[in-house]
Chains A and B, each alone.
Chain A
Amino acid sequence: MTNIHRRAFIFFSFFIAIIFIGFFQSWNVALGIFNLCIISAIMALGVNIQLGYAGIFNAGVMGFAALGGLAAVIISYPPVPETIELGGSGVFLSLVILFVGTATVTFIYKSSLSSSIKKLTVPLTILMLLILFNLVGSPAIERIEAFEPAASGFLGGFGLPIILSWFVGGILAGIVAFLIGKLTLGLRSDYLAIATLGIAEVIIYFLKNEDWLTRGVKNVNGLPRPVPYEVDLQGNAWFIEFCDKYNFPLVETSSIVVKISYCLLFSGILITIFILSEIALKSPWGRMMRAIRDNEISARAMGKNVKARHLEIFIIGSAIVGLAGAMLTTLEGQFTPTTYQPLRFTFTVWVMVIIGGTGNNYGSLIGGFLVWFLWVEAEPLGLYLVELFTSPLSDTNPLRIQLITNAAHMRYIMMGLLLLLVLRFAPKGIFPEGR
C-alpha cells in the first residue's frame, strides 16, 4: 500500500465509523461528534505547528483555547448598558493606565540609563502603577459586579457577529502567546512545558475570578449563533414543507440542519488552515523550522535567528488554538471557565498530535478525528465492557454499581494506554513525518 492509499484508507475508515454511529446511535450524535472532531483537528494542527515543526512543548493549550472562548464572549454578547455606565469608564481608564504604565516601564528598561538607576526606578514604577491601577479599577469593578449579580454583573460584549470572534480569538491568543513567548521561550524544553502549564492555569484562574469580564464561575449563557436556531427553522414555512415532502421528522431534522451548517462552517476553516499549514510546511520557511528543530546549533551557525523563529511559531500555533477555542465556545453557545481542565484540553491535544504523527499535518488531522471520537465513545464502550465483565454479579452488588458509575473514566485510562502504546511501538505515529 502506498502512502496515499494508506492515508485514504484511514480517513475512509474514520468516516465509516461516523456513519456507523449515525445509523446505530443517531445522526444527531454522529454530527455532534464530527463537529467536535473538526475543532479538535484544528487544535491539533495548531499544536503540531509548535510541536512538530519546531519542537516547542506548549503545555498551555488549555489557556489559549480559553482565551478564544473569552473572545467569543466579548465580541458577540450584547453590551450591558447599565454596568458600562456604572463602571465602564473606570475599567477603561485602568486599562489605559496599564498600557501607559507598561510602555513607561519598557521605555525605562530599554533606555540608556545606568543599571543602578534602572534597578531603583523599574520596581518603583511598577509598584506605583499597581497602586494607581487598583485605586481606579477596584471601585469600578465592585460597582459592575454588584449590579444584578444573578443575571448580569459584567460588562457584556460588543454585540457583533460571533464569527468575527473566531479571528479575534486567534489574535488575542496570539498577543498573549507573544508576551508568554518573550518570557519563557529561552527555557529548556521540559522547563518550557512546566512554565506554560503554569501560565494556562493562571489564565484559567483569571477567567474564573474576573467576574466583571467573564462572569467567572457563573458562566455566560446564550451566546448568539452564526447559524439559524432550531425553533426558527421549525416555524419556517419552507422548511416545514420540505420536511413534509420527504417525510422527515420536523424537530430532529431541524437540529440536524443546524449541525450540518456548523459542520460546513467549521470544515471551511479546517480546510483553509490545513492548506495554509501544508504550504507553510513545504515552503522554505517550513524547511528552516525543521532545520532549527533538528539541529539548533548548526541552524544558528547558518545565521538563522532561532529565538525570533521560535517566537513566531509559538504565536502562530497558539493563535490557531485560540481560533479553535472560540469556535468551540460558539458551538456550545456558552462560556464555562470551569470546564477547562488540562487533561481534557492540553494533554488530549498532545495525544492527538503524537498519535497522528508529529510534524505531519495529515497526522494531526486524523489524530484529532480519531482521538476525539474515542474520547466520546469511550464512555459507552467502557460501560459495555464493565457490564460484560460484571454480568455474573447481581445488580445490587456494590462493586458492580461502583464500576458502572465510574465507567466514564475509562477514557483517561484509554488515552494513557493509547499514548504509551503508540509511543512504544509506533513512535512516529500513524502518519510518520515525510522527508
Chain B
Amino acid sequence: MDFFNAIALITNFILLPGLTYGSQLALGALGVTLIYAVLRFSNFAHGEIMSFGAMVCILFTWLGQSYGVSFGFLPTALLFVPVAMIFTILYCMLIEKFVFSYYRKKKSNPIIFLIASIGVMFFTAGLIRFIIGPSDQSFNDGVRFIFTVREFKTLTGLNEGFGLKTSQAITILTTIILCSLLFFFLNSTRTGKSMRAFSDNEDLALLSGIDPNKVVLLTWIIAGGLATFAGVLYGLDKIYKPFIFLQMLLPIFSAAIVGGVGNPLGAFIGGYIIALSELFVTFAYKKVLGYLLPENLEPTTMMQFLSTDYKFAVSFIILVIVLIIKPTGIFSGKTI
C-alpha cells in the first residue's frame, strides 16, 4: 500500500506536471528545431511568437465569451486556437517577408539572422504589451479537474492520490496528436520529404527542383502553428504572462539542443527530458521516502536536491553538460 502511495505522490507532483510542461516545451522546441533545420539559425523570437499566438487566442476568447460562446466543460479558448493559428502564421509570414527573406537571399551569416531575430523579439514583445498589457491573464473557463485528488483517494482508498487537470489532459493529448501528424507529414508525404531533403542538403534539393520559397513558407507555417498551440496550452495550464515567454526560451532551446538541434524527434524527447528533470531535481522527496523506507529511517529534512526557485538552472546545467559531452545532442542533430 505504501508503495502505491509513493507512486501516487510522484504521479501527482512529478509525472503529470512534467508530462504537461514537457509537451509545451516539446511543441516550442519543435518550432525552434524546424527553423534551425531549414533556415539555419537560432530563432530568439520564438518565445514571443508563442506569446503572440496565445494573445490572439485570448482576445478572440474574450470576444466569443461576450457573445456567450462556450465549449461545454472544455475551455472556450480551444475553439479559437485555429483562428489564433491563422493570425500567428500570417505574422510569421510577415516577419519572413520583411526581415528574414532579405538575409536569406544575401546568404548572411547565421549570427546576422540571430540579431535580426532579436529585433523581431523586441518588436513582438512590445506589440504584445501594447495590445494586451504586461499583466497576467487567466482565460481557462472550463472545468478544472477531470478527477480531483480527493475523488481518487475515495475511489482507491489510498492516503495519497493524484488529480488530473483538464488542461493537463488536453495538453498531453493535443501534443501527441500534433506530433504524430507532424512526423507522418515529414516522413511520409512528398512535401515533408522535400523539406527534409532541403534541410539535409540545400544545393542538392535545389537541383532536384524543390522550391526553396515553398519549403521556407511551410516551415514558418508549421512553426507558427505549433508555437500557437504551445503558447495557448501553457496559458491554459498555468496563466498567461507576457514576460514568462522570454524565460521559457532557455528551456525550449535546451530541449532542442539536448535532443539534437534540427532533429524533430530530438526536440520532442528533449522537451520531456528537460521538464521531467526540472521536476525530479526540485521535488521534495520527504513524503515519498517516508512511505518507502522503514519507519525508523524516515528522513527529517525536505530531501530536496535543489530549491524550486532554481528550476531554470536545471535546464541550463543539462544544456551545458550536453554541449560539453555531446554537442550534437542525443539524436545527433543538424538535419531533419
A271 proximal to B (CB < 8 A): no
Q: Are A406 and B133 in contact (CB under 8 A)?
A: yes
Given contacts A343-B246, A419-B119, contact A183 B126 (CB under 8 A): no
A418 to chain B, nearest CB (A): 8
Question: Which of B41, B115, B307 is in CB contact (< 8 Å) with A419?
Answer: B115
Question: Which of B253, B307, B316, B324 is in CB contact (< 8 Å) with A199?
Answer: B316
Q: Are B246 and A424 in contact (CB under 8 A)?
A: no
Q: Are A409 and B315 in contact (CB under 8 A)?
A: no
Q: Are A413 and B121 in contact (CB under 8 A)?
A: no
Q: Are A417 and B250 in contact (CB under 8 A)?
A: no
Given contacts A342-B246, A423-B115, contact A410 B126 (CB under 8 A): yes
B111 proximal to A (CB < 8 A): yes
B83 to chain A, nearest CB (A): 20
B240 to chain A, nearest CB (A): 16
What is the bound-complex CA distance between A423 and B133, given in angstroms? Answer: 28
A224 to chain B, nearest CB (A): 30
CB interface residues, B 231-252, toward A, < 8 Å: 243, 246-247, 249-250
Given contacts A199-B316, A419-B115, A423-B116, contact A209 B310 (CB under 8 A): yes
What is the bound-complex CA distance between A414 and B123, given in angstroms? Answer: 7
Given contacts A413-B126, A414-B126, contact A184 B320 (CB under 8 A): yes
The CB with the most chain A CB atoms within 10 A, among B119, B125, B130, is that of B119
Size of the A side of the interface (Cβ < 8 Å), in residues, is 47
B275 to chain A, nearest CB (A): 16
Measured between beta carbons, the chain B residues less than 8 angstroms from A195 are 316, 319-320, 323
Q: Is the interface of A mostly helix, strand, loop or mixed?
A: helix
What is the bound-complex CA distance between A368 and B59, given in angstroms? Answer: 37
B129 proximal to A (CB < 8 A): yes
Q: Are B125 and A343 in contact (CB under 8 A)?
A: yes
Q: Are A416 and B316 in contact (CB under 8 A)?
A: no
Size of the B side of the interface (Cβ < 8 Å), in residues, is 46
Q: Are A416 and B327 in contact (CB under 8 A)?
A: no
What is the bound-complex CA distance between A186 and B310, given in angstroms? Answer: 25
Measured between beta carbons, the chain A residues less than 8 angstroms from B257 are 191, 194
Q: Are B122 and A347 in contact (CB under 8 A)?
A: yes
Given contacts A193-B114, A341-B243, A347-B118, contact A198 B127 (CB under 8 A): no
Q: Are A420 and B319 in contact (CB under 8 A)?
A: no
Given contacts A195-B319, A343-B122, contact A413 B130 (CB under 8 A): yes
Measured between beta carbons, the chain A residues less than 8 angstroms from B313 are 201-202, 205
A364 to chain B, nearest CB (A): 16
The 8 listed contacts between A and B (C-beta, < 8 Å) are A57-B111, A190-B114, A205-B313, A347-B121, A414-B126, A416-B123, A419-B118, A420-B116
Give A residues with C-beta under 8 Å from B.
55, 57, 183-184, 186-187, 189-191, 193-195, 197-199, 201-202, 205-206, 208-209, 341-343, 347, 350-351, 354, 402-403, 405-407, 409-417, 419-420, 423-424, 427
